[in-house]
């Protein structure tokens, strides 16, 4: 019964995985910055995927399994937020705008973490687990969409296309895109 709920989480995550960054290799600082952004997103995605797959393969979703999965999701998301907040502005004309976009993404991820925690607080019984899985699926899908939207926004920030080129050149952005 719970297996289909776990598959919902995986399916929603797939929408995020299908979108990504781009392709090549360059050593300029904008490319290194874009690589760091995509690397953080890839690490987060891989952690979330692993967690949701463990839920879907368990077959017996319980309050304990849900709590453990949520702990893993929160840890991965907190790491992602720390990584994103730790990035400075890229060395481009619109670097400060790019940094602001990442800070907004980090704030949104923090809000999603709060939603996830609220979903599991006081979970009781089958209905509580089902409702929590639904809320968590929604929060994960929202975070994935926010990451994809932010990357798209970053690519369009400067008229000269420097950030877009950086995302297209960064190796981890290739991995992020191919991971979907």
- Domain spans in the chain, listed from the N-terminal domain onward: 3-88+95-178
Q: Give the mean model confidence (pLDDT) for residues 124-128.
A: 79
CB-count exposure of residue 24 (10 Å: 0-12, 13-18, 19+): middle
Q: How far is Cα 92 from Cα 176, in angstroms, rounded to an integer?
A: 23
Q: Give the mean model confidence (pLDDT) for residues 169-180.
A: 77
pLDDT at residue 2, rounded to an integer? 46
The overall average pLDDT reported for the chain is 80
Is residue 89 pLDDT above 80, yes or no? yes
pLDDT at residue 26, rounded to an integer? 38
Query: What CATH topology corresponds to 3-88+95-178?
Result: 1.20.120
Residues 11-48 pLDDT 10s:
444 434 444 443 333 345 889 999 999 999 999 999 99
| Cα four-point dihedral sign 76, 100, 88, 161 | positive
pLDDT band at 73; cut points 50, 70, 90: very high
Q: How many CA atoms lie within 13 A of 54 on its CB side?
A: 14
pLDDT at residue 57, rounded to an integer? 66
Structure tokens given for 109: 């991820």
Is residue 54 pLDDT above 60, yes or no? yes
Is residue 97 classed as helix, strand or coil in its secondary structure?
A: helix
């Amino acid at each position: 019964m719970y297996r289909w709920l776990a598959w919902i989480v995986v399916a929603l995550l797939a929408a995020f995985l299908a979108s990504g960054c781009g392709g090549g290799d360059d050593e300029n600082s904008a490319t290194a910055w874009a690589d760091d952004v995509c690397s953080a997103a890839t690490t987060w995605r891989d952690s979330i995927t692993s967690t949701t797959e463990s839920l879907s393969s368990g077959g017996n979703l319980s309050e304990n399994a849900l709590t453990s999965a949520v702990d893993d999701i929160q840890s991965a998301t907190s790491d992602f937020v720390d990584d994103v907040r730790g990035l400075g502005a890229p060395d481009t004309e619109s670097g400060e705008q790019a940094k602001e976009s990442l800070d907004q993404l980090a704030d949104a991820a923090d809000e999603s973490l709060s939603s996830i925690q609220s979903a599991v607080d006081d979970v009781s019984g089958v209905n509580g687990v089902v409702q929590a899985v639904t809320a968590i699926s929604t929060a994960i899908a929202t975070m994935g969409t926010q990451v994809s939207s932010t990357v798209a926004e970053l690519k369009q920030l400067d008229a000269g296309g420097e950030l877009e080129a950086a995302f297209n050149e960064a190796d981890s952005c290739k991995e992020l895109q191919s991971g979907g």
